[in-house]
Amino acid sequence: MKRDSFGSQIGALLAMAGSAVGLGNLWRFPYLVGENGGAAFIIIYIILSFLICLPIFISEFIMGRRSQKNAYATFKNLSGGSAWKWVGLFTIIVPLIVLSYYSVIGGWSIDYLLKSLTFSFSDMAQQNAANSIFTELVTSTWTPLLAHTVFLLVTALVVVVGIKDGIEKFSKIMMPLLFFIVLAIAIYVITLPGAKAGLDYLFRPDFSKIDAKACAAALGQAFFSLSLGFGTIMTYASYVDKNDNIMKQSTATALSDLMFALIAGVAIMPAVFAFGLDPQSGPGLVFETLPYVFGQMPAGGLVAILFFLALLVAALTSSISMLEVAVAYLMEEKKFSRVSACVALFIFCWIIGAVCSLSFGPLSGITIGGNNIFNFLDTLSSNVLMTLGSLFTVIFVGWRLKKTDVYEEFTNGGSLSANVKLFGVLWFLVRYVAPLAIIFIFISGLI
């Protein structure tokens, strides 16, 4: 049976951009900027994204396209069947863990979209009211569970259709829509009185806020946002045509992700400042602070609808890529049909996600290291598992694969002159800079 693949370069690019652009941009990036001194954090984030994360992205791309297999088989086949195959299995398990709690947040975005459609945030007198709405949602039992189920079901329904007819078509429609919505919100928000303070906050650096913890947060955010370290890029790359330019596709994806994150910051932070609110409000920024902001601004009801629609679409484009990693594994290694693989993984992720959802309410008494189950898995994945996955990948490409094989894949057999010139820089970054930087910042973040 012929393996499914992307039908076009633009389809592959939009799918990869969709994997990268997600809740990491709209949910995590703005509040991390707020907590770490604004523009100084953005500068560090940009440097780490292109100096460390882009080479890792390219490494995953090279491995996936060269093997034309799922992430497990990629490590297994390219290493000659050595113990590296267990790293491949690691990259299958991590996205399932992330998807399980990620779908809970996706469920929240569904609930908030429904609330915005009924103008529930209009004329909200106090921010405490918005805080109460969020607290009531996450601590309840059935509403977030239902929303989590719907989000996961939509994800599975797209993946079950396949690569070309499912993931690619969805990405071609939803990614342009997503960029248009967030850009429209950003343009509107910067016209609000007092918005300039938010732009100053975003784009004036305060390097006194930058320390090892901030660098670790920036690196972890870049990993989370670019979908590094858990097999999604490797899996998508296995569906890419052998003639595509890896450097061009990878750089375009990283730039798209960065642009979207910055536009999201412009769409959010000036609005927060315009109404005199705290930009350092943490994870609650999107679900607690912004609903109050939407309730105060002119045409806020419409802006709320657009924003939470964008949040939902961004969440879906990433969740689809996470699910595909394990679907490809079950289909190719365990001979599941695509339908049965999606059903089995839906059940698996739903159970773990349900526990994560309930950890804010009925299961809130269960803690691991002082965190509820949801926060524990989020911290573990972002700060440990994805970082380790990325470290394993660059070590594998830089020290296990033959240099000639990496060169051949990156330059399309020497036919891409620009890539030939850049190869020496890439090889140095992958072998030395990226691994050492990952280890240093990983350890610094734990201290």
Chain-centroid distance of CA 357 in Å reads 19
Task: Give CA–CA dist 30/244, Å, rounded.
Answer: 33
- Name the packing angle between helices 54-67 and 71-78 (round to 10°): 80
Q: Is the pLDDT of residue 151 over 60?
A: yes
Task: With CA atoms as reference, report the closest residue to 17 among 242, 243, 232.
Answer: 232
Task: With CA atoms as reference, report the closest residue to 310 among 100, 99, 108, 109.
Answer: 109
Residue with tokens 């509820």: 372
Mean pLDDT across 81-89: 91
Task: Give CA–CA dist 3/298, Å, rounded.
Answer: 51
Task: With CA atoms as reference, report the closest residue to 260 among 35, 438, 19.
Answer: 19
The encoded tokens of residue 398 equal 């830089």
Helix (H, G, I), strand (E, B) or coil at 367: strand
User: Rounded mean pLDDT of the chain?
Assistant: 90
**Out of 169-178, 376-385, 387-396, least confident range:** 376-385
**pLDDT per position as a tens digit, 302-361:** 999 999 999 999 999 999 999 999 999 999 999 999 999 999 999 999 999 999 999 999
- Name the packing angle between helices 246-274 and 169-189 (round to 10°): 40
**Kindly report the CA angle at 377 between 376 and 380, in degrees rounded to 5?**
85
- Name the packing angle between helices 71-78 and 300-333 (round to 10°): 50
Which superfamily does 9-446 belong to? Hydantoin permease (1.10.4160.10)
Cβ neighbors of 405 (< 8 A, separation 6 or more) are: 66
Percent of the chain with pLDDT over 70: 98
Task: Give CA–CA dist 120/126, Å, rounded.
Answer: 13
The answer to whether 17 and 227 are in contact (CB under 8 A) is no
- Would you say the pTM of this structure is higher than 0.85? yes
Q: Is the pLDDT of residue 1 over 60?
A: no
Alpha-carbon dihedral angle through residues 216, 219, 221, 225, given to the nearest 10 degrees = -170
The answer to whether 257 and 17 are in contact (CB under 8 A) is yes
First to last CA, the chain: 51
Task: Give CA–CA dist 44/444, Å, rounded.
Answer: 15
Q: Is the pLDDT of residue 446 over 80?
A: no
The answer to whether 349 and 152 are in contact (CB under 8 A) is yes
Question: What are the residue boundaries of the structural domains of the chain, listed by start?
Answer: 9-446
The answer to whether 247 and 422 are in contact (CB under 8 A) is yes
The answer to whether 6 and 246 are in contact (CB under 8 A) is no
Residues β-bridged to residue 379:
none
Residues β-bridged to residue 368:
371
More confident residue, 37 or 265: 265
- Residue 367 backbone phi and psi in degrees, to 5: -130, 150
pLDDT score, position 126: 73
Residues β-bridged to residue 205:
38
How distant, in Å, are the alpha carbons of 25, 122, 147, 306, 307 from that of 115? Answer: 22, 10, 13, 12, 12
Task: Give CA–CA dist 246/397, Å, rounded.
Answer: 15
pLDDT score, position 445: 61
Task: With CA atoms as reference, report the closest residue to 332 among 10, 24, 76.
Answer: 76
Mean pLDDT across 98-109: 95
The encoded tokens of residue 357 equal 């959802």
The answer to whether 72 and 238 are in contact (CB under 8 A) is no
Q: Is the pLDDT of residue 419 over 90?
A: yes
Cβ neighbors of 128 (< 8 A, separation 6 or more) are: none
Task: With CA atoms as reference, report the closest residue to 178 among 46, 316, 49.
Answer: 316
pLDDT score, position 175: 93
pLDDT score, position 131: 82
DSSP 282: G
pLDDT score, position 2: 72
Task: Give CA–CA dist 73/21, Å, rounded.
Answer: 26
pLDDT score, position 373: 95
**Kindly report the CA angle at 225 between 223 and 228, in degrees rounded to 5?**
40
Q: Is the pLDDT of residue 124 over 80?
A: no
Q: Is the pLDDT of residue 283 over 80?
A: no
Q: Is the pLDDT of residue 206 over 70?
A: yes
